[in-house]
Structure 1
Amino acid sequence: MTPEDASAALLSAAAAGDVPAIERALASGAQIETRDERGRTPVLLATAGGHVAAAQALIARGANVNAQDAQQDSAFLLAGARGMTEIVRAALAAGADWRITNRYGGTALIPACERGHVETVRLLLTTDIDVDHLNRLGWTGLLEAVILADGGPRHQEIVRLLLARGAQVNQADRDGVTPLQHAERMGQREVAALLRAAGGR
């Protein structure tokens, strides 16, 4: 098998989550940072497919968890957005850069907050990630946990976690609307109560 064929086999194996095939491709000379036509590396393909063991195996072999594809996804960013906490944990142990941003200008934390991935948020908040980072929409993780959510138990817990970490409770959006004002407008009573207790206006 040529190195080029081995690298192609690695991409296919990663996308399928086939750990033995990943190991065979690497043993045959595949480049662990090879990319497909969309700029995706094997570890990003494994993550995109939800293949935790495959992603962990690639990370253990030295895959770059910060490598971004054509649309600025990386294994670390995508795992955060999809709530794949075990891949996030492995990525952090392998040197994930929590400062890198996705195509919306957001860190891994922001979509995790929006989508209610409590354990992923909890893990990311153990790093020095900027809890008040603003994405291109002018929203923080706290704003997204309110604006793009339903105010249910998962998002309530995320609001608690963000506030405990010191998130700016009155950081407004581009229109000057604060998290509390959004919560009140959306009828999120429990979230509104949490924000008020933290000094929200």
Structure 2
Amino acid sequence: MDETENKEAIHAACREGRLAAVESLLSANPKLAHRRDSDDRLPIHWACSYNHLPIVQVLTQVKDFDIDAVDGSGWSCLMIACSVKDGDDLVEYLLKRGADAGLKNNNGQTPLHFCASKTRLSAARLLLSPPYKASPRIPDTHSQLPLHRAAAVGSLPMVKLLLDHNSPINSSDRSGLTPLHHAIAEGHGDVAIELLRRGADSSRRDSDGALAIALAPDRKVRTWILAEAEKEGVEVVTE
């Protein structure tokens, strides 16, 4: 084993889910919990990435451990957990340990942005609930809210959840795109109708001057949205 591999043995053990090895390494040198690897990550970042909750629990018990320590990209453990499949237990544990639900990474994204992008509905509900009360009103560096991401990926339940928690509905990102623009552009008609029902302004134009309905990927999507909007009694500006 070369020097780099030896220094990063605990990181490898965390990735691979080898709890006994992690415990043994920490017993010999607790400071290893604070050691960064060549990717500028702590052992816990790898444990979170692979959803190894027992290892995360061990690492967070180390003296002076910072639950909000970030990696080289500014990702906290909570952000990583919100991006992991079946990571709800991990998210809950980190929050109970005091993880900051409003922390931003280098791109200005909060844990809620990752829940929205990855459709982690249960984790989002937890973040938005007391006492954590994550804000759905925080934009990233592209001026996108979690609602923009939820609309773009077509998660109707997530869109409803964010709107129920007072997310701005007509906020524009740096390209002038509203959540409605994103939903229609990606062909998510059901999300577009929900946004329209909840007050989305179909007259808003993006930076290129395009209305949301003009971004429909094909005639079928456009026709369906206009027909459903008419049934709902909501107006869609088309020109």
> TM-score scaled by structure 2?
0.72
Shift of 1:73: 2.0
- Quote the residue 1:168 is aligned against: 168
2:141 alignment counterpart = 136
Q: In structure 2, how many angstroms separate the alpha carbons of the residues matched to 1:21 and 1:185? A: 49
Residue 28 of structure 1 corresponds to 28
Report how far residue 61 of structure 1 moved: 4.3
- Greater RCO (CA < 8 Å, at least 6 residues apart): 1
Counterpart in the other structure of 1:76: 78
**TM-score normalised according to structure 1 size:** 0.84
Structure 1 contact 6–30 (Cα < 8 Å) conserved = no
1:92 paired with 2:80, answer no
SS in 1 for 2:193: helix
- Are residues 1:119 and 2:122 paired? yes
Q: 1:7 offset after TM fit, Å?
A: 7.0
Identify unmatched segments of 5+ residues in structure 2.
Answer: 202-239
Give the gaps of 5 or more residues in structure 1.
none
Using a 3 Å threshold, how does the CA distance of structure 1 residues 55 and 189 change in structure 2: closer, same or farther? same
**1:165-191 deviation digits (Å, cap 9, x = unpaired):** 111111122233322233234332211
- Comparing 9-18 with 69-78, greater Cα deviation is found at 9-18
> Which residue of structure 2 lines up, in the alignment, with residue 51 of structure 1?
52
CA–CA distance in 1 between the matches of 2:10 and 2:90? 19
Q: 1:185 to 1:30 in 2, by over 3 A?
A: closer
RMSD: 2.2
User: Is contact 1:170–1:179 with CA below 8 Å preserved after alignment?
Assistant: yes
Residues 108-151 of structure 1 deviation map (CA, whole Å, 9 limit, x = unaligned) = 1112201211112111112222211111111100011112x1x2
Distance 1:180 1:55, change over 3 A: same
Q: Distance in 2 between matches of 1:35 and 1:182?
A: 38
| 8 Å CA contact 2:136, 2:167 repeated in 1 | yes
Contact in 2 for aligned 1:15/1:45 (Cα 8 Å): yes
Q: How much has 1:59 moved relative to structure 2?
A: 2.6
Q: Percent identity of the aligned residues?
A: 27
Structure-2 change in CA distance of 1:6 and 1:22 (3 Å): farther
Q: Greater shift after overlay, 12-21 or 109-118?
A: 12-21
1:156 CA drift (Å): 0.6
Give the CA deviation at 1:67.
Answer: 0.8
> Kindly tell me: are residues 185 and 22 of structure 1, through their superposed partners in 2, closer, same or farther at Cα, counting changes over 3 Å?
closer
Give 1:145's aligned amino acid: A
Alignment of 1:149-188 (within 5 A): 149=153, 151=154, 155-188=155-188
Q: Distance between the aligned counterparts of 2:30 and 2:11, measured in 1?
A: 9
State the structure with more CA Rg.
2
